[in-house]
Homo-oligomer: A and B are copies of this chain.
Amino acid sequence: MTTRDENTFIATWTEPFGAVWRAIAGAPTGQTPLAASGGSPKSDALADLPKTPFPFAADAVACQRVNGKLHVSFPLGAGEDIYGMGLTYRSLNQLGQAKCLRMGHYSGQEDGRTHAPMPFYISSAGYGVLLNTASRVHTYVGTTHPREAHPPLQDRVHPDWRPIQPGRTVDFYLDAPGVEILVLGGPQMLDVVRRYNLLCGGGCLPPKWGLGFWHRANMNWGEKECLELVDRYREHRLPLSVLGLEPGWHSNCYPTTHDWRTSLFPEPRRFVAALEERGVKVNLWQNPFLHPDCKLGQSLAPYSGSHTGSWGGLVPDLTLPETRRLMQEHFIKEHVAIGVSGYKHDEVDDESWLPPFFATYPSGTSPEEYYSLLGLYMQRLGFEMFRAANRRTYGLVRGSNLGASYLPYALYNDCYDHREYITGLCSSSFGGLLWCPEARTSSQAEEWLRRIQAVCFSPLAMINAWASGEMPWTFPEVAGAVREVISLRQRLIPYLYSAFAEYAFRGIPPVRAMMLEPGFSVSLDVTAGKLHGTDNPYSRPEARDVADQFMFGPSILVAPLFAGQAERRVLLPAGRWFDFYTGAEVFGPWHTIRSNLGPIPLFVKDGGVIPMLAEGDDLQPLTRWRNLEVRHYGEAEGVFSLYDDDGETFAYEQGAWTKLELAVRRNSAGRLHGCVPAPQSHSVNPAPVCTWRLTFQSTATRQGQVGMKSSTAIDRRP
């Protein structure tokens, strides 16, 4: 029977942090993603954010039990755009979309089944709303109209008929006895995102090596082939930071053992050390499906579920502390202690390799709830081991949820649609997620180049050749261009690492959707859907959206090219923008890029200051910053906060870090000078459209104490 209890049963709103409001609807039970993720709010940084008033009228949030389930409704203003709702691949603007958010492998239909199903949205009006739940949630973003409040009706046969008339609410509907609700203030969308990330513990700070280049080896390779691979990268003068081992390293795989296959790796410790000597870390693929006869499987049998995961493995119940302890014990002994750097936590996302929903787990957690949290538990389990060893880790994970910002993992999946991967890269920034738009293989050279260019401007730059055996130089006609972009990625690590420090300390995502950029205005109107004869005859309109370009660090705008594209357009935010490679000014708002197997289009905002490893240093170990090239673009004054620390441990949490303000300022005569806090200062050429270089030698070693020495002066480029 229908019941609609008109009494809203939200307790009063509290404000645990400034502009973070919390309320409980009903009586929540079970586990939540924010608790499972285990992060601690960064109170100090939260306090630095601007204060804003509660974004709604006091009584505008409605919560009712309808048809036996929970309906929570928030106001939606006219003209508001809505972003977020977890990882998405087809569109960023969620206005007009109805979904059922649930954990699952995305495979081409954006109906809410995703690797990060997060009922958390951010409004273009500058606030956010989050439901902290592990349940499936039906979401309706401006798609519903109570019959008494419908906008004026139309007649479709009229030429000005427009199919979308957004409703005035964003609605959630879930089968739970209650839910915790958070409302986050802005005033800007970026402030909402920062607030969220800081609530989750701040963004992660990967080790420096994590930002270098990764290669996942063929799953059947052993020690010999892996060492040869490292040699071949060297021969090709390509940097390599991390080598990933795929399932074959397990003594049995599918189901897995988490013990080494000695036929391939007779002495794992020696193997890991040999790679370490060559400056390469080892990352291990794993999944939670344990061979029942292996050591780990035997010890975890009492803590595993009633049914096997894909291909026969026991599925441990990670909600139990003892399960996590036993797993960590094994992982520490067999992997962490011998120098393994981290994991790729695979297959935590999908019903098809996880047991059915009627399976049972020793803790009593239902599979629907457990699977939505499993990715969080795996990330946390991995992170905690390395944290205890005072070594930072960086890895990959296939499923995530609310609260993951502080966990050093990039998401990935199998859809392998290059455009969708870029949209995923953008959408990840709305929810404290990192995304790896994997390069696996390609049928043609151009696509291979475009994919590698894209991964080089993502949080985790990797070739995943586990099945393909591809190499960066697989396609000779683009091997030079591939080398160039990998080298550029490596040289940009000081810039990117500083951007990650902003993520960790201040919650600013290092790779961001354009909507989070000040001055960016999606000047597109909602496109009226066209009457289409076949696929889309219902005239669905497209929402305002820009999902194929993004910000990389504070001042670089990336507009990746896709295979077959001889030209594309990029929408530039307000202000002046300059080509990264030539320093030439480009003019917006829409700028057309033409390219023929050229480099990935990059644009720098006026006054952008970009520190890079010096030319030729891309094959050197990643230590403290020493020889840097610092570029300045355009005519405006600019500043870059160059962050440094030991790059490997958690000492930075105790203050063992440095920040150096690299500034380009105008002197009293109006001429631009590069400045550092030390007295060095360099006059630079004031030509209006150009790129400057300032080169320093950094000798920073201790917190707050920095020596910077100029080694060369000015290098004007055309």
Interface on A for B, CB 8 Å cutoff? 1-2, 4, 64, 66-69, 71, 98, 107-109, 111, 113, 138, 140, 143-147, 150-151, 153-157, 161, 163, 165, 171, 173, 175, 219-220, 247-248, 252-255, 261, 291-292, 304-308, 311-312, 314, 351-353, 355-361, 364-368, 414-416, 440-441, 466-468, 470, 531-538
Contacts and interface: CB of A to CB of B under 8 A. Distances in A.
B534 A144 contact: no
B147 A308 contact: yes
Given A108-B109, A154-B254, A291-B153, A440 B537 contact: yes
Given A358-B171, A360-B67, A253 B535 contact: no
23 contacts: A2-B360, A67-B357, A67-B366, A67-B367, A109-B111, A111-B113, A144-B356, A146-B307, A147-B292, A147-B314, A156-B253, A157-B220, A161-B254, A171-B356, A173-B356, A173-B358, A414-B538, A416-B534, A416-B535, A440-B534, A441-B533, A466-B537, A467-B531
B220 A254 contact: no
A144 B360 CA distance: 13
Contact of A358 (B66, B155, B255): B66
Contact of A1 (B109, B111, B154, B364): B364
Contacts of A535: 414-416
A146 B474 CA distance: 44
Given A147-B314, A156-B247, A157-B248, 17 more contacts: A2-B361, A4-B360, A64-B358, A66-B358, A69-B357, A71-B358, A138-B356, A143-B352, A150-B312, A153-B252, A153-B312, A156-B248, A157-B253, A173-B358, A414-B538, A416-B534, A440-B534
A111 B114 CA distance: 13
Nearest to A146: B307
A67 B156 contact: no
- Give 10 closest A-B pairs by Cβ, nearest first: A468-B533, A441-B533, A109-B109, A71-B358, A416-B534, A67-B366, A156-B254, A2-B364, A1-B364, A2-B360
A355 B145 CA distance: 8
A68 B414 contact: no
Given A171-B356, A307-B144, A351-B98, A441 B66 contact: no
A98 B371 CA distance: 15
A147 to B, nearest CB: 5
Given A155-B253, A360-B67, A467 B150 contact: no
A355 B536 contact: no
Q: Which of A67, A219, A247, A358 has the most CB of B within 10 A?
A: A358
A255 to B, nearest CB: 6
Q: How many identical chains are in the complex?
A: 2
Contacts of A108: 108-109
Contacts of A468: 533-534
A603 to B, nearest CB: 30
A261 B156 CA distance: 12
Given A154-B254, A414-B536, A467-B531, A145 B67 contact: no
Q: Which of A4, A157, A364 has the most CB of B within 10 A?
A: A157
Nearest to A417: B535
Contacts of A470: 533
A541 to B, nearest CB: 12
Contacts of A534: 414, 416, 440-441, 468
B467 A537 contact: yes
Given A248-B156, A533-B470, A140 B107 contact: no
Contacts of A255: 153
B138 A357 contact: yes
Given A358-B171, A531-B467, A312 B2 contact: no
A176 to B, nearest CB: 12
A12 B534 CA distance: 50
B440 A145 contact: no
B312 A140 contact: no
Given A69-B358, A538-B414, A467 B533 contact: yes
A165 B313 CA distance: 13
B305 A147 contact: yes
Nearest to A145: B308
Contacts of A261: 157
Contacts of A364: 1-2
Nearest to A352: B98
Contacts of A533: 440-441, 467-468, 470
A171 B359 CA distance: 11
Given A67-B366, A67-B367, A537 B414 contact: yes
A312 B157 contact: no
Contact of A356 (B143, B254, B353, B441): B143
B143 A311 contact: no
Contacts of A314: 147
A637 to B, nearest CB: 46
A524 to B, nearest CB: 22
A114 B486 CA distance: 45
A145 B307 contact: yes
Contacts of A150: 308, 312
Contacts of A171: 356, 358
Contacts of A64: 358
A146 B59 CA distance: 50
A447 B130 CA distance: 48
Contacts of A156: 219, 247-248, 253-254, 311
B140 A356 contact: yes
Contacts of A154: 254, 311-312
Contacts of A247: 156-157
A669 B161 CA distance: 75
A355 B143 CA distance: 9
A242 B255 CA distance: 59
A441 B533 CA distance: 6
A59 to B, nearest CB: 19
Contacts of A144: 307, 355-356, 359
A441 to B, nearest CB: 4
Contacts of A307: 144-147
A579 B470 CA distance: 48
A360 B538 CA distance: 26
A162 B109 CA distance: 28
A68 B4 CA distance: 23
A295 to B, nearest CB: 15
Contacts of A145: 307-308, 312
Contacts of A368: 67
A163 B352 CA distance: 12
Contacts of A66: 358, 360
